[in-house]
Structure 1
Amino acid sequence: MKNIIARSAKPSCLKATRVGALALATMIASMIALGAAPALASSALDDGIKAYRHGEFEKSAGIFSSLADNGDATAQYLLSCQTINGVGATANENAGWTLMEQASENNNPNASVVMARRLEAMGGDKDKIRGLYIAAAQKNNTQAMLWLALDALDRGDAAQAEAHLKQAWELGDPRAATLLANRFAKSDVDRLTYLRRAAQHGEMRAAAYLAEEARTVDDKAEAVGWCAIATGMPGHNEDVDWKTIGDAVEKNCGQFDKDLSPKDRAINRERVDHFLSEFFQNYEPWQPWRACAVD
């Protein structure tokens, strides 16, 4: 089978063609949730994670190896990523997937999601896939909660879907807020509140919906502004090519005020600048779940 985990161009992480990158905070939280471990083992795991985070993959593999042999699920998970892809360790898909399965069986939620996605790609048993996502969701993995919510909708269980989405949103996943807005909002105000809060955390689909909402009430400044955010305008980052961004915004968002006169359009763009300035004052981008890398 073709590898689903591919090398990253960046030395500090591993990328996945189907599975993505893991935040350090999630791994540490998972490590704590897995129960008490000897202080020495915890220290060694921290050293391994630090080496992994900084791209010292041979060092991290050496540290993780002994911990994995002793049943440490986090070490098994990260070592499996390295082994499957041959990063800092001899490439061995079979051994890597065995480690990934062990990590999942030892209640590492990230490994469970990876195993579920692998089974999906292989057309595996739906009940087994669902079970893996349930196990990950029980460890507060919001990626799993989103899958379970959509699965519940497919099965006609709206109440269960809403419960999964609300839990994911309580844990900070803005994608859940977008789904709640469009599937379960009790009113227009409720829907817009969900969308605005999701967009404030970098959920670009929510911003795209808000651009269309602004268009319906003929608020051209907000329409262009939300569209710019949906386009991916990184207003919190000073080290950007603003001309390229401006060209992209004009290409994708100019439609919202193209019917204005040149003078009125210039005035509207000043309003857009003000809107974006206020938006980015409170912008708190959220990092979606991805597997096999640390920040």
Structure 2
Amino acid sequence: MKNSIAHILKSSTVTAGITLCLMATATAASPLDEGVNSYRHGNFEASAKTFAPLAEQGNATAQYLLACQMINGVGVNADEKRGWELMKASADNHNPDASMVIARRLEATGAKTDNIRPLYQQAADQNQAQAMLWLALDAMDQGKPDQAKQHLSTAWEAGDPRAATLLANRFADSDTARYQYLRQAAERGEMRAAAYLAEEARTLGDPVEAIGWCAIATGLPGHDQHADWKSIGDAVEKNCSQYDKDLSSADRATNREKVDQFLARFFDGYKPWKPWRPCAVN
């Protein structure tokens, strides 16, 4: 088994594994800022040169990003051994992304949970929402529901909508609370929450919301870009037509117009959540 991040984490190809997810903001004001800016724009040879002395000085961010480059051989000659040494040094210096990468590597290689848990806890202590989510699921496996709920609540406060979906289905104390969790999660792009909402709307006899949430749950065009209503209409017909198949032709046409209005409201101001990815700057 190759020891590359792309292979071990099974996240994507090397190129996608270090896809940069932040637009340029302020002008670089320090060597680290300059290195991150080069990394952000794909100038990996320059970023590696900038990160190298900073990593030697113990800068956790430089260690993490240079490790990503060395492990994958991007902008530098591949050196997995040194790369993983740098990744561990970064984690030891409390970089949450490095802790996450090492934890995932251990998971992929069948390490014991007791060896993985401290890394996720370290990342969670640095406000890493995805680590909190892992700790919540781990607590559930251990039969510790109160601890799981606390981790999920913290992860949701940190912005991970998957935590809200789990809170809705595992810990909501009323139908109203469950609906609120699911709706808020769906509004952040959590498609499983939208799928639950579609089924609930069907149960309540609301074909507008049933089709609307179904459209969102299937990740239709417009979900993360400007809405293309023709493409959305075609996809709705293909994936969601079961929710108003029993209506008359006239009522069905009216329902679809209301669905368009529902989706227009949804996409107005839509701010989808972006999940953590290894070796991406944010």
Q: Same fold, TM exceeding 0.5? A: yes
- Measured against aligned partners, the alpha-carbon deviations of 1:187-220 in whole angstroms (never above 9, x if no partner) come to 0000000001111111111111100010000100
SS in 1 for 2:30: helix
Mapped contact 1:5–1:81 kept (Cα < 8 A): no
Structure 1 runs of 4+ off > 6 angstroms?
6-9
Which amino acid in 1 is paired with 2:225?
A: N
Cα distance in 2 for residues equivalent to 1:21 and 1:198: 25
Residue 5 of structure 1 pairs with residue 6 of structure 2: yes
Residue 58 of structure 1 pairs with residue 58 of structure 2: no
**Alignment correspondent of 1:148:** 135
Mapped contact 1:198–1:206 kept (Cα < 8 A): yes
Which amino acid in 2 is paired with 1:73?
A: A
Cα distance in 1 for residues equivalent to 2:223 and 2:171: 31
Cα distance in 2 for residues equivalent to 1:208 and 1:68: 45
- Measured against aligned partners, the alpha-carbon deviations of 1:216-240 in whole angstroms (never above 9, x if no partner) come to 00100100000001111325623x6
Deviation at 1:128, TM superposition (A): 1.3
Cα distance in 1 for residues equivalent to 2:215 and 2:173: 28
Mapped contact 1:109–1:135 kept (Cα < 8 A): yes
Cα distance in 1 for residues equivalent to 2:147 and 2:273: 25
- Measured against aligned partners, the alpha-carbon deviations of 1:88-147 in whole angstroms (never above 9, x if no partner) come to 011111111111111111100010010000000001121110010000000000110000
Which amino acid in 1 is paired with 2:206?
A: D
Mapped contact 2:96–2:124 kept (Cα < 8 A): yes
Deviation at 1:23, TM superposition (A): 5.3
Mapped contact 2:67–2:87 kept (Cα < 8 A): yes
Q: TM-score, normalised by structure 1?
A: 0.87
**Alignment correspondent of 1:94:** 81
Mapped contact 2:6–2:12 kept (Cα < 8 A): no
Cα distance in 2 for residues equivalent to 1:64 and 1:123: 32
**Alignment correspondent of 1:231:** 218
The correspondence for 1:179, drawn from 156, 166, 175, is 166
Deviation at 1:21, TM superposition (A): 6.2
The correspondence for 1:126, drawn from 113, 125, 129, is 113
Residue 257 of structure 1 pairs with residue 244 of structure 2: yes
Cα distance in 1 for residues equivalent to 2:43 and 2:99: 25
Deviation at 1:263, TM superposition (A): 1.2
Aligned residues: 274
Deviation at 1:22, TM superposition (A): 7.4
**Alignment correspondent of 1:158:** 145
SS in 2 for 1:193: helix
Mapping 1:1-295, distance limit 5 Å: 1-2=1-2, 3-5=4-6, 14-16=15-17, 43-233=30-220, 234-235=222-223, 237-238=225-226, 243-294=230-281
Using the TM superposition, name which of 93-102 and 209-218 deviates more.
93-102
| Identical aligned residues as a percent | 62
Cα distance in 1 for residues equivalent to 2:228 and 2:262: 20
SS in 1 for 2:252: helix
SS in 2 for 1:290: coil
SS in 2 for 1:84: helix
Cα distance in 2 for residues equivalent to 1:291 and 1:199: 24
Mapped contact 2:91–2:99 kept (Cα < 8 A): yes
Deviation at 1:255, TM superposition (A): 1.0
Higher relative contact order (CA 8 A, sep 6+): 1
Q: Mind listing any 5+ residue stretches in structure 1 that lack a counterpart?
A: 29-39
Q: In the superposition, relative to structure 1, how do residues 182 and 217 fare at CA in structure 2: closer, same or farther (>3 Å)?
A: same
Deviation at 1:5, TM superposition (A): 2.1
Deviation at 1:175, TM superposition (A): 0.9
Aligned-residue Cα RMSD (Å) equals 2.3
Mapped contact 2:224–2:272 kept (Cα < 8 A): no
**Alignment correspondent of 1:31:** none
Deviation at 1:294, TM superposition (A): 2.7
Mapped contact 2:64–2:86 kept (Cα < 8 A): yes
